[in-house]
A and B are shown apart, each in its own frame.
Chain A
């Protein structure tokens, strides 16, 4: 069912290329693979001449039915599976995008296949996994190609996501799909694979929609490099232990260069920097319970306010998202029950016609048929209404998911700050040790060879730590800047997306209510003879 929509070049599934101008806009917009941020690109590509992304075209009241129904009356609505299956269609096609996008990346995930790992175990077929075809179409020159495909497995996505998390600290990086071990056991294999395919596509599209990440090397490599993914998984504890094992004795002794400065600025990872983890923990405890303030604190009041606001927003988004789910279900139920009612009347009509002895029965059967037809039509409209409602209100769910990225970005900031604080404390204690040593050795005339050597080593360590501290501070400032920019971007995009969502939702409701009113109005007219006076 989904297969047909994934063959190579994917036409925007909601409209055919021959549609009129407004759907061409939407087609073009859709090719941007921008799910919920139709306006994120224009911020970076000011070349779009007449684009004014925050002032979409006016909606003429009488034309709702036409505006909505020409692009969306498609087989996609009638045929495809559950209304929650929004993978292959952009979720806010109503976004009135600017007339030209100068660049785009369109990613499609398709064609899941079982593959086998070159097995070195005794059990045959024990190491099978699924790969997906990731197809990219783009006009961005950096990619050096306009269309290409690679095969990737889920593990590669995890790697990509981890590497991005490392390289883009402080950014709101879209959360990757879950590993969901439990689901893979419980669901039918095919269903699970399909669900995963959908999730992967969504994730990659979100990455491509992020103004900074879409240009990242990690993403480029993931999308383009054939064969095995060249990104190293960083959570490979075992190999890291091996690397780190060499350094541990030195670390434990507290002497000598522990790690390279840039590595010092990276967050401490389990299995790697045991000592550093311990130190940072000590530092955070000191922060919380110590009597003195740490050397650097989170001072940005504006940030603190924003953080609180984000928390509140997340709470309300979660609530609204839940209620949206319930609303969608209620609309679905309405459509279903209407359908059942219509069906019951169709059966009754057939029955009365078959058994008719009196003319009154045939008249009644005819009346019933009209009613049944209208009921079934209304039922279909409710279901269509719901399909669109799902797509619109999906924006709420999307932004709720995005909150996780925000948490991640703020966590990056906190941990970077902690690293700075730790290094400062470290530096301070090293310096006081150095001073003590100096004082002690100056008391011995001619110098103390051992002490002098120790002092030299200490000075060496201090220098390295100083470098590390500087790197850490630069990291911290960079992350703060990322936070700031991302928050701004989030505010702008969120406002636009939500307004679009609201408009889309309302226009949709109006359009379908009008259609439904029409259907019933006709039946009311046809049966009005029963109430116009008495016969």
Chain B
């Protein structure tokens, strides 16, 4: 699989200028651990770095999928506004969980995940990343099980946030509350873009997956056809029998080429599309964070207004509670400023991220399209060559 692309963050080789900090990670060697229901896959994560925050220049640790999930969650919590690279899905289908293809696809996706983090200006500085890349298995397990419960945002929360976002219209209509969402044109455009993009991409990915299946089906039917034709050749004998037999053999050969290409298509075209979809979904989660942050600073701003009015009232009436109220007000003001700061940082980060995202995706897709076209051309050429080689034999059968 090609190394992570992007002009700003290639996987730099260790031999580059030693002054340049580099962090190179790879996820390799999937191994099945345990048995039965408890069984899982463990991966080897190899880190090579010259960054001083790291202990030593090379480290190898063993990690499992849930560790990667932990890392994602931590980064998501800490780096609001940043598009955290997406994780591959948990697989629902039991029998598929340990198929060679699935394991390889997941390994690649995890490798990509960690590499993207290691290439990201902000994320690569993360302490959690260092933890992930360096601590022992047992320590990792302890950390994961302890912190997962505390910090992981429940899916229900995310859904609620989206519900809020979608239901603002209803709220206004029902006169419940004022819409608690940004109303800037840029934001609206971005939100609309991301949500629509997901739909379009999902459709493309669906068709790409189907295309992989079609390759396999065509391969199978060609193979079956070849077998049937071979049986027919036994009936006919002589030249015709020979012709049939040659055709049967060729059908089977072409069938294998189709199966091979199906695999390539899956890895080099369908997976990148899937990855794209995941990335967009990750952005949606970031948008949700932005919405939450906005709501928070907005609500604080509203509360402050009320407090101001109240304070003025108290000052006018020269109440004893003025000092108390003043303190409260100061506290609240500080909170509000912090909330506003947080929100504005998210907005700023997102703007940078979206620009970077678009660049990156153009490159990623360029490569994926290239691989797709190359694979299809390769397949078609091989198929043409295979069938063409049969023609002189068929000629020979009809002239003798």
Contact = CB atoms under 8 A, between A and B. Distances in A.
A527 B366 contact: yes
Contact of B362 (A330, A363, A505, A510): A363
Given A334-B214, A510-B384, A316 B231 contact: yes
A433 interface: no
Contact of B367 (A323, A344, A503, A530): A530
Nearest to B208: A341
Contact of A56 (B369, B381, B398): B398
B189 A355 contact: yes
A378 B391 contact: no
A344 B221 contact: no
Contacts of A347: 200, 203
B377 interface: yes
Given A54-B398, A513-B387, A348 B200 contact: yes
A21 B373 CA distance: 37
For A326, A506, A521, the residue with the greatest tally of chain B CB atoms inside 10 Å of its CB is: A506
B369 A510 contact: no
Contacts of B203: 344, 347
Interface string B19-46: 0000000000000000000000000000
Interface residues of A, number: 71
B235 A312 contact: yes
B266 interface: no
Contacts of A351: 196-197, 200
Interface string A218-235: 000000000000000000
B373 A534 contact: no
B224 interface: yes
Contacts of B250: 506
Nearest to B234: A316
A330 B358 contact: no
Contacts of B399: 55
A510 B388 contact: yes
Given A341-B207, A535-B7, A326 B225 contact: yes
Given A330-B217, A337-B207, A524 B373 contact: yes
Given A320-B231, A330-B218, A55 B398 contact: yes
B334 interface: no
Given A316-B232, A355-B189, A367-B369, A333 B377 contact: no
Given A320-B228, A331-B218, A351-B196, A520 B365 contact: no
Nearest to A370: B369
A527 B231 contact: no
B362 A364 contact: yes
A345 B369 CA distance: 11
Given A312-B235, A534-B7, A502 B380 contact: no
Chain B: interface residue count, which band?
35 or more
Interface string B381-400: 10110011011001101110
Interface stretch (B156-164, B236-244, B315-323): B236-244
A58 B222 CA distance: 26
Given A371-B369, A510-B387, A531-B367, A340 B243 contact: no
Contacts of A361: 358, 362
Given A499-B240, A506-B391, A324 B225 contact: yes
Given A55-B398, A58-B395, A367-B369, A358 B355 contact: yes
A120 to B, nearest CB: 54
A320 B373 contact: no
A507 interface: yes
B229 interface: yes
Given A317-B232, A326-B224, A530-B363, A520 B373 contact: yes
A61 B373 contact: no
B299 interface: no
A126 interface: no
B394 A499 contact: yes
Given A510-B387, A534-B5, A358 B358 contact: yes
A55 B400 CA distance: 9
A371 B372 contact: yes
Contact of B214 (A337, A368, A503, A523): A337
A327 B138 CA distance: 54
B207 A340 contact: yes
B249 to A, nearest CB: 13
A454 interface: no
Contact of A499 (B214, B374, B383, B398): B398
A364 B381 contact: no
Contacts of B5: 534
A527 B239 contact: no
B235 A329 contact: no
A44 interface: no
Interface in B197-217: 197, 200-201, 203-204, 206-208, 210-211, 213-215, 217
Contacts of B196: 351, 355
A164 B61 CA distance: 85
Contacts of B397: 499
A527 B232 contact: no
Contacts of B383: 509, 513
B146 interface: no
Contacts of B359: 358, 360
B338 to A, nearest CB: 30
Given A327-B225, A330-B214, A330-B221, A513 B381 contact: yes
A494 B243 CA distance: 13
A530 B5 CA distance: 10
B279 to A, nearest CB: 14
25 contacts: A55-B398, A59-B395, A316-B228, A316-B232, A323-B221, A323-B228, A326-B225, A330-B222, A337-B214, A345-B204, A351-B196, A355-B192, A361-B358, A364-B366, A367-B366, A367-B369, A494-B240, A498-B236, A498-B244, A510-B387, A514-B384, A520-B373, A520-B377, A524-B374, A529-B366
Given A361-B362, A507-B391, 7 more contacts: A340-B207, A355-B189, A367-B362, A510-B387, A513-B387, A517-B381, A529-B366
Top 4 nearest A-B pairs by Cβ distance? Answer: A530-B366, A517-B380, A513-B384, A520-B377
Interface of A: 54-56, 58-59, 61, 309, 312-313, 316-317, 319-320, 322-324, 326-327, 329-331, 333-334, 337-338, 340-341, 344-345, 347-348, 351, 355, 357-358, 360-361, 363-364, 367-368, 370-371, 374, 378, 494-495, 498-499, 502-503, 505-507, 509-510, 513-514, 516-517, 520-521, 523-524, 527-531, 534-535
